[in-house]
Amino acid sequence: MDWLRKITEAIAGRPGASRPTDPSRDVNPDRGHKSNDTRAGSTTGLVTKTADGRYAAFGFTFSSLTQAEEYANRRQRRHAPVAPSAPAAPPPPKPTSRPEPVRQQTKSPVPGFPNIVIDADGRFETGNYSFSSLSQAIAYADRRTPKPSSPSVPAWQRLESASAANIVGTAKGLSAPPRWIGEPAEISVGGLKFNAELVYFGTPKRYDQKCDMSRIDPALAVGPSSDRDGVHLSYWPSYQKLHPASRRAYLEWLASGRSKPSTPIGYVFIFFYGLEQRLFMEQSRDEADRILGEVERLLTIYGTNNSFRHYAHALLSAGALLRPNDAPPLQPRPRAELYTFEIPVNVRMQLGRAIAEGRALDANDALLWILNLPDTYLRTPGTRCFEEVCELWRLRFGERHPNGLLVRKPRSTIVQHYRAASATFSATLKDETIPDISGTNAPLGPLRDLLHACCDELAAYSRLLGRDPTARGTLAADLLLPPALRGSGTAKLRETLEQRFKQSQGVIAAAELRALIGEDGPATGARLPALVLRKIAVALDASGFGFEPDPRYGPKGGLSGDSPVAIFPCPAGGPVEPDEYNYATARAHVEAAVLASVADGEVVEAEMEAIRIQLDAAQVSPLERQRLAAYALALARDPPKVSAALKRLKEIPVAGRGQVAESAIAAALADGRVHPAEVKFLESLHTALGLPADDIYSALHRGVSSGTQRKSDRATAIENGSARRIEIDQERLEQLRRDTTKVATLLSSIFEVEDEARRPPAPIPSSSVMPAFSGLEPRHSELLAAVLKRPLTRDEFDAAARALRLLPEGAFEAINEWSFERFDEPLLEDDGTITAAAHLIDELKLIGAES
């Protein structure tokens, strides 16, 4: 039933809880007094016991004695002598079944109010109506009967006065002429003296209920004690009708500057009635600003009271019509604060003015408009994170309407009805210069959608704030915001990352990243859950860093806490299209190259450099290149299993495989030597790619043995275009020429060393037979002489040798050996016949050999 009550209250604008209602306040004491009286009477003898054990009283039977006595009591009271006449009392309905007339004699007139009687049930009757409280009845009677001119105080006031008269020590002041106190001025009421402002003051000649709800009449009694808790306050309080104690409380509140938050709202309303009366009934435009300002001030203090908030807003909105134009533009605020079924007039005016001037509505105006539509419901994100929604709205609105939103000028102009909070008057305000957008609907659909979209975008953020209201501004909350709204959280992360990037050459542990985004987990070992990975990805994207291996842009393998992750600064996390051909191929290149260079157990800088050079040559965008370089870094620290990687490489289209192998070889070669493990990897790579393994060795060989190799060599070896021209590298040619000269000199020194030795062909004096053959054994000399005489056949030579006790082959060897010593050339030639070289014979003759 709670909701029902709320709705009723909302419609009425008056919650029951906050304001005491009349019956309990006004009637109860009355009633209590009376019941006390009746209880004093006696019922003895009126109740008799019946035969069946029940109790009879006045012809009725009751099951219990108490009931019977109770009844008897009531009967007795009714029969007691009261004012016999009840002129206004209608004839009571006749009971048909009951033997005894009950109601006819039960009415008793209320003293002082000839029109009101108390019926048998203790209710108050007047003019055929029955009321539960006396004050209701009096009010009704007042309204029914034409007002008697004589008593200047209305009937209800008389009651007040009557009751007030009972209070001891009532202070009554002198009457004062009625006036409005705008500027602060000292007044003196009921013994209190204080500076008052914005109040009506004085005793009117005649109370006009419409206007005088809040007038401070110094002639009225002010009690000595103060009703600070508002015990005596009625639903629509007015100063005249206030209990004297309440008047004191009210005056004290005024005197103390109208700002004590615990003051019952009834007093605030009394003051408020005066303001609205001044503003709307008397249309005091000069004071509009002051009054509106005062209401705004009150609103900040007493805004927690729904009823007051509603009326205050209504006043502020309508008051805008009376304000001069120079008011500052309104800021959007959640609609939830308002309970009207139309767009507040100040909003309409602001929008209307813009339209009248032909201006396009800016984001602020549009949001103001949409928020103030009565049927706009800001969903939870909207209320929970209103600031963010506004900010996002401005952004999105700006995207959609870069030049603002143009609205056609509606024909109707602004008309505002104001119903006073005191329910005593209503006013109609108009401004015919300002068009009224209330009837314009066309642009609202898209705007509403836009607002919903904004709320949707912030839904996750709002849920987080719902769980943890302190999360605002933290990284976790920041990440849930659209990128444009991100603030301190991501900035801090970016700073940290930049620092770490510099410190660690771009590679940090996955666990550290996890810690940076505020996730817990074991320091090492265990795999990072996919959720955490996603969070890392989002966080790094937001802070302008990319990372590798990033499961979004590569194989889906997970990361464990200690796996190295390469980070690199790039806008929006550097998204790439992982399946795009060039990228995928380049990635495979990198993978193969890194595997090749880690095969020997370490990656040296030269190898990474080779990979980078290859990347530079790859046909990928700079962003992709950056990502791949990072990938290489991470891979080098934590190489994948070769078998798994090779399996992936198999997916490369055949056309790109050769290049993959090339990159791998180049990387393996980069450190200038070939480790057997690297060769082994390259072999398995080639097998996996279905390429002939023979190429590896040639390529490795080419790469290794040339420290001074030209870079283009490898490139020219790759391309098979036969049409290319030969490029002669002059520098290299010169180098080569120098080498050639060197080697020629070297070789000459080897092959011609004996040339020098033989140059002085001095005849050697010897005891041997032939001085020309000096150095040669005598028997060999003899044999040589034989050959020199005439060429010998093989057999003759053998025979000659044997005759000299020589072995023919040995002699041949020995003679030629001697000839080498002398002439650097063999002397004997064996072509079936053994001959001496003709040109050497001449030389022999020169040095004196006998022919």
Binding interface with other proteins (CB under 8 A): 606, 671-676, 679-680, 683, 693-694, 696-698, 700-702, 704-709, 713, 716-717, 720, 722-723, 725-729, 732-733, 736-737, 739-744, 746-748, 750-751, 777, 779, 802, 805-814, 816-817, 819-820, 826
Which one-letter amino acid corresponds to residue 660? V
Return the number of the residue (12 or 807) whose C-beta is nearest other proteins.
807
Q: What is the dihedral of CA 123, 124, 129, 133, to 10 degrees?
A: -80
Q: Which residue has the tokens 């108050």?
A: 124
Return the number of the residue (336 or 799) whose C-beta is nearest other proteins.
799
In the complex, the smallest distance separating the C-beta of residue 808 from other proteins, rounded to whole angstroms, is 7
Closest CA to 644 of 722, 554, 557, 768: 557
In the complex, the smallest distance separating the C-beta of residue 575 from other proteins, rounded to whole angstroms, is 38
**CA-to-CA distance for 81 and 95, rounded, in angstroms?**
23
**Long-range contacts from 832-837, C-beta under 8 angstroms, 24+ separation:** 832/793, 832/794, 833/791, 833/792, 833/793, 833/794, 834/787, 834/791, 834/792, 834/793, 834/794, 834/797, 835/787, 835/791, 836/784, 836/787, 836/788, 836/791
Q: Quickly list DSSP for 357-382.
A: TTPPB-HHHHHHHHHTSTT----HHH
Whether cis (ω within 30° of 0) applies to the bond prior to 778 is no
In the complex, the smallest distance separating the C-beta of residue 790 from other proteins, rounded to whole angstroms, is 22
In the complex, the smallest distance separating the C-beta of residue 708 from other proteins, rounded to whole angstroms, is 6
Return the number of the residue (526 or 746) whose C-beta is nearest other proteins.
746
In the complex, the smallest distance separating the C-beta of residue 803 from other proteins, rounded to whole angstroms, is 12
Return the number of the residue (392 or 840) whose C-beta is nearest other proteins.
840
**Long-range contacts from 357-360, C-beta under 8 angstroms, 24+ separation:** 359/404, 360/401, 360/403, 360/404, 360/405, 360/406, 360/407
Return the number of the residue (319 or 826) whose C-beta is nearest other proteins.
826
Here the tokens at position 82 are 């009261």
Return the number of the residue (39 or 725) whose C-beta is nearest other proteins.
725
**CA-to-CA distance for 553 and 152, rounded, in angstroms?**
90
Return the number of the residue (53 or 601) whose C-beta is nearest other proteins.
601
With a CB cutoff of 8 Å and minimum separation 6, the contacts of 408 are 440, 442
* CA-based torsion, 210, 212, 213, 214: positive or negative: positive
Return the number of the residue (574 or 808) whose C-beta is nearest other proteins.
808
Closest CA to 438 of 482, 379, 372, 484: 372
In the complex, the smallest distance separating the C-beta of residue 661 from other proteins, rounded to whole angstroms, is 15
In the complex, the smallest distance separating the C-beta of residue 646 from other proteins, rounded to whole angstroms, is 15
In the complex, the smallest distance separating the C-beta of residue 715 from other proteins, rounded to whole angstroms, is 12
In the complex, the smallest distance separating the C-beta of residue 752 from other proteins, rounded to whole angstroms, is 8
Which one-letter amino acid corresponds to residue 4? L
Return the number of the residue (523 or 747) whose C-beta is nearest other proteins.
747
For 278, the 3-state DSSP assignment is helix
Return the number of the residue (37 or 729) whose C-beta is nearest other proteins.
729
8 A C-beta contact, residue 696 and residue 686: yes
In the complex, the smallest distance separating the C-beta of residue 835 from other proteins, rounded to whole angstroms, is 15
Here the tokens at position 221 are 């009694």
